[in-house]
Amino acid sequence: MAYNDNNDRLRGGSTRSHYQGTRRPITPQGTYHGPRGTRQRGGLKGPSRKGPGYPVRARSINFQNGRNRIFGIDRQLFILGALAIVLLVLLIVGISSCVRGCTSSDQQSADVNPVDARVAVGVSEELTNRFAKQLNQDEKLAAIAASADRYSDQSLLELALDVPEAIDFVAAYPDAEKTAQPYDEAVTQGSAPQLWCWDARWGAVDYAGHPLAVSGSGPTSLAMAYMGLTGKNDRSPADIAQAVTEAELATGDSMMSADYLTGAAEELGLSLESYVSNGENLSQMLDSGTYLLIEAKAGTLTDTAHWVLLVTENEDGSVVVYDPTSPEVSEHPWAPATLASSCDTLHALTASDTADDAGDTTE
């Protein structure tokens, strides 16, 4: 009895056909039984064959055209549109900035005081100028404080603090020429000019060991009297200070001895009479058309002893005072009794008979 192995071969060398039995071999052509039913099997042919099948249709794929479209919009149109939007935004921003800038400029212009920008808009011109003067002085005072080590004479720093009107002079003093300049303004006989010790034309000159600005009340007061009584301007405070120094009379608390007046009066073309100081004598002397020089004691008109010139008496009996060290003292009239109590002696100066009555002059 023969057994078939896995390849349908009989043991013992006998063989049989692989397709023996009921199964028929598959022929190249015939019917095909598949999931879609039975159909005629045929060989593969070209696209023109007839009968059932799945023909492959030829399609043109435009890859380039697809790349030129973004979200269904042509790329060039998209770029042009984006540029138009950017330009529009820039135009709007530029116009807006211009409007804001012009508005800001107009607003700023409207909010600035035309006289001095440091003062609020709307303040009157008069007040603005007063503020500006004070602000300028404050700035210079700050500069003086910052360079205080450049001042060998500390009294100049005190002058700047005590007398605001002297700040300009003190600020310029370290770099100023320490020489005198002539008084070049016209004077009228019978009208004494108001002079200040710290005038830049003579304030920096050395007198009695200090700048004349802080030590020259005597020469400056006498210069005012000389100009008013003679109508001449050829003797400035610096000229008289030099004469006092040469006479070795730049002494005393006021840095000019009264003894100098006795010898200098005649040389200046003046006459001098001295009286005990009291209110009655003071009023009588001024009534006669003379000027009075007085050496005010410390703590009376000001804190320090110094010379002042009494110019005239007002209708109400008050007296006009020219104090070369203090605009505050000079700006208002004084009672005769107050002035008389501030000194011991009244020095009455008048033009001498031989004085040259020259009137107005600038020689």
Which residue, of 127, 147, 176, is where some domain finishes? Answer: 176
Which pair of structure tokens corresponds to residue 233? 């301007």
Q: Residues 267, 195: one domain?
A: yes
pLDDT tens-digit map of 6-21: 544 444 444 444 444 4
Q: Residues 277, 331: one domain?
A: yes
- Is 330 a member of any domain? yes
Q: Residues 158, 188: one domain?
A: no
Q: Residues 336, 190: one domain?
A: yes
pLDDT above 90 as % of the chain? 61
Phi, psi (degrees; rounded to nearest 5) at 211: -65, 140
Q: How many domains does the chain have?
A: 2
Q: Residues 142, 250: one domain?
A: no
- Is 51 a member of any domain? no
Closest CA to 206 of 248, 245, 175: 245
Q: Residues 150, 278: one domain?
A: no
- Is 298 a member of any domain? yes
- Is 82 a member of any domain? no
Which pair of structure tokens corresponds to residue 210? 């200090």
Q: Residues 230, 144: one domain?
A: no
- Is 150 a member of any domain? yes
For residues 178 and 180, give the distance between their C-alpha atoms in angstroms, rounded to a whole number.
7
Q: Residues 263, 289: one domain?
A: yes
- Is 136 a member of any domain? yes
- Is 154 a member of any domain? yes
pTM for this model (two decimals): 0.67
- Is 106 a member of any domain? no
Per-residue pLDDT tens digits of the chain, which is 363 residues long: 444 445 444 444 444 444 444 455 555 555 545 555 545 545 444 444 445 554 555 555 555 555 555 555 677 777 888 888 888 888 887 777 766 666 555 555 568 999 899 999 889 999 999 899 889 989 999 999 999 999 999 999 999 999 999 999 999 999 999 999 999 999 999 999 999 999 999 999 999 999 999 999 999 999 999 999 999 999 999 999 999 999 999 999 999 999 999 999 999 999 999 999 999 999 999 977 799 999 999 999 999 999 999 999 999 999 999 999 999 999 999 999 999 999 999 999 999 875 554 444 444
Which residue, of 126, 160, 176, is where some domain finishes? Answer: 176
Range(s) of the domain holding residue 147: 113-176
Q: Residues 249, 172: one domain?
A: no
pLDDT tens-digit map of 276-306: 999 999 999 997 779 999 999 999 999 999 9
Q: What is the CATH number of the domain that holds 276?
A: 3.90.70.10
Q: Residues 241, 294: one domain?
A: yes
Q: Residues 286, 138: one domain?
A: no
Q: Residues 244, 341: one domain?
A: yes
Which residue, of 159, 176, 193, is where some domain finishes? Answer: 176
